[in-house]
Structure 1
Amino acid sequence: MTLMTVDRVSKSYRAGETDQTVLSGVDLSLQAGEFVGLVGPSGCGKTTLLNICGLIDQPDRGRLYWHDRALTGLSGAALTDLRRRTVGFVFQEFNLIPVMSARDNIAYPLMLLGLSRKEQAERVAALANAVGIGSLLDKRPAHLSGGQRQRVAIARALAKRPELIIADEPTASLDEETALTVVDLLRTLSREFNSTVLVATHDTRLSRWCDRLIRLHRGRLQNENRSPAPVREERV
């Protein structure tokens, strides 16, 4: 089942006196439950494509479809509501709220959705145990290691049981062992929740977890690999 379709999407930004094209006629379909790697050099448009798929930004041209529903032309409020209910984010720099405990960071999207305190507490506890930080919930981000902070970020992204998870260089700030553990955890939990994951990365080691890889170069999709090698099913 197709979750999202990106149809001939283009995006430009104003740079001084000229417009700089970042994406040019991109076509992409994301299937429910798949783990997709987005690779390419710096400046090729990966973050822009993530922001469009994550409903943070809108294309200049082209269309987006969510479960075959056209999103083009929806109001900002409608897109915000859809994003808040259905999309989770994992960032390179974690983006945790520093004055909140790990517990409150994970619960924050649930609070925005209006879930009861009881349901918030139940989901937070279950996810914290799943990512291995059950004993760290009262600590603030400054008192956690990079790997622990990224585990909090994964738990936060999954808390609302999103259909789509957008991950932008989620292992870039982590050492090798921690990076592989974290991405394995993201893959395992996304399968459990049947969440689609679109992850942008420079880390070629992540390819073993991907169902397929797509490559951006100068704002265009160059190629697509739909036949993952058996090594991608290995576990660390």
Structure 2
Amino acid sequence: MIDSFSILENLIFPILSRNNGNLSNYSTKGLKEKITNLMEEIGFDDLLKKGMGFFDRSPATLSGGQRQRLSLIRGILHDPEVLIADEPIASVDEKAASNIIHVLKMLIRQGKTVILVAHNKDHHLFNECDGEFIEVVNSNQIKFKPCRTNKRSVDEVS
């Protein structure tokens, strides 16, 4: 997050970067609606209740967990085929972590590739193959197996 930008500017920055500063392919109303929907899914209901003035604030006014969630929204907003999530549940409470995992699973179900980075080898996140989640490989072991040999369904991982 760039503290000298507003929250809204931070959220749309990747879109502006990809389109040479041009938002003509996007409606402001559509972008705000998509942002609002993502915020609800990730568990930002409390901040949304503060009204649209929230988007004019600096991200420096947010907690670490709130900044983490906004960074994830920023990554999802421009509808990437591949999302790299670096410690997506670090600095967030259990409810927010659950919401974030739900959103990441939703992206995977939509056919997106989600790459998760965890610096703590004890964190048990998930890998995905052929639309289903497979066993986690920790940072000390990298196992190469065909995806079909060790699948778990999305519901089993929840």
Given the two structures, how large is their TM-score scaled by the length of structure 1? 0.48
Which residue does 2:62 correspond to in 1?
A: 144
Residue 221 of structure 1 pairs with residue 142 of structure 2: yes
Q: Identity of paired residues, percent?
A: 24
> Relative to total residues, which structure has the larger strand share, 1 or 2?
1
Whether contact under 8 Å (1:147, 1:179) holds in the other structure is no
Match of 1:125 among 16, 22, 32: 32
Per the TM alignment, residue 112 of structure 1 is displaced from its structure 2 partner at its CA by 0.8
Output the CA distance in 1 between the equivalents of 2:110 and 2:74. Answer: 13
Cα deviation code 1:2-31 (max 9, x no counterpart): xxxxxxxxxxxxxxxxxxxxxxxxxxxxxx
Structure 1 residues 56-205: aligned runs within 5 Å? 96-114=1-19, 115-117=22-24, 119=26, 121-122=28-29, 124-130=31-37, 131-132=39-40, 133=44, 134=48, 135=51, 136-188=54-106, 190-191=107-108, 194-201=111-118, 202=120, 203-204=123-124
Number of equivalenced pairs: 135
Cα deviation code 1:201-234 (max 9, x no counterpart): 3422x4499712452555x6225574115422x4
Whether contact under 8 Å (1:106, 1:156) holds in the other structure is yes
Cα deviation code 1:157-200 (max 9, x no counterpart): 11221110011211122222322222223333x14753210112
Instruction: From the superposition, tell whether residues 147 and 186 of structure 1 become closer, same or farther in structure 2 (CA, over 3 Å).
Output: farther
Output the CA distance in 2 between the equivalents of 1:195 and 1:163. Answer: 5
Output the CA distance in 2 between the equivalents of 1:181 and 1:223. Answer: 30
Output the CA distance in 2 between the equivalents of 1:106 and 1:150. Answer: 12
Question: Pairwise CA RMSD of aligned residues?
Answer: 3.0
Given the two structures, how large is their TM-score scaled by the length of structure 2? 0.67
